[in-house]
Amino acid sequence: MAHPSQLGFQDAASPVMEELLHFHDHALMIVLLISTLVLYIIVAMVSTKLTNKYILDSQEIEIVWTVLPAVILILIALPSLRILYLMDEINDPHLTIKAMGHQWYWSYEYTDYEDLSFDSYMVPTQDLVPGQFRLLETDHRMVIPVESPIRVLVSAEDVLHSWAVPSLGVKMDAVPGRLNQTAFIASRPGVFYGQCSEICGANHSFMPIVVEAVPLEHFEKWSTVMLEDA
């Protein structure tokens, strides 16, 4: 969950998000080293009184500033490509959920069950109870079993939307007439918040996403109750 004045990422709740955090630190360290080197060169050039008016070229310097950037780009590209592969890989999901974007709410359908679907609207501010978050709570949460591969099929009924949950490292565009898919594994129980991340109209800010990860036995009880109430 995000905190006031937070500068960093939310706590990772999936293996992919943990990999993204590690990659962020890796890339940030490279950027920091480059920035330090450039700053040192600038300060040295400005502060020194020594100049060489007769130098025209330097084969060694040209080799260094050609090879070094290539090596740096490779150091960034290799872990990035690995994470891209992990994000696209979907192996035998235990549960498939269809998330449909509307103006301005989400609807969910658990395709492995015969009749388990519901709409998820934002809870108005006046209906919130102590401990709930303004503009982030929904009347129905998307409940999933923890430590199980989940596949989410994402689409939209009207305009472009985007289904995003930062703690899970998930962001997938919802395009009318097109079915996109993403996958994740919730590594720990908890409630994870997200929002529509594509400007979709006047009430774009009022399309929260709430994913609740629970143990498998609790998920089975929840699904049984939902099917009985359907």
Residues of the chain with pLDDT under 70: 1-2, 230
Per-residue pLDDT at 155: 96
In the predicted model, what is the mean pLDDT of the chain?
A: 91
- List, in order of start, the domains of the chain with CATH numbers: 15-88 (1.10.287.90), 95-229 (2.60.40.420)
Enter the pTM of the model: 0.84
Per-residue pLDDT at 230: 66
CB 114 within 8 A of CB 47: no
CB 98 within 8 A of CB 153: yes
pLDDT digits (tens, 9 = 90+) for 59-109: 888 899 899 999 999 999 999 999 998 888 888 899 999 999 999 999 999
Per-residue pLDDT at 77: 95
**Cis omega (within 30 of 0) for bond into 65:** no
Per-residue pLDDT at 4: 73
Per-residue tokens: 83: 């994470």
Per-residue tokens: 193: 């918040």
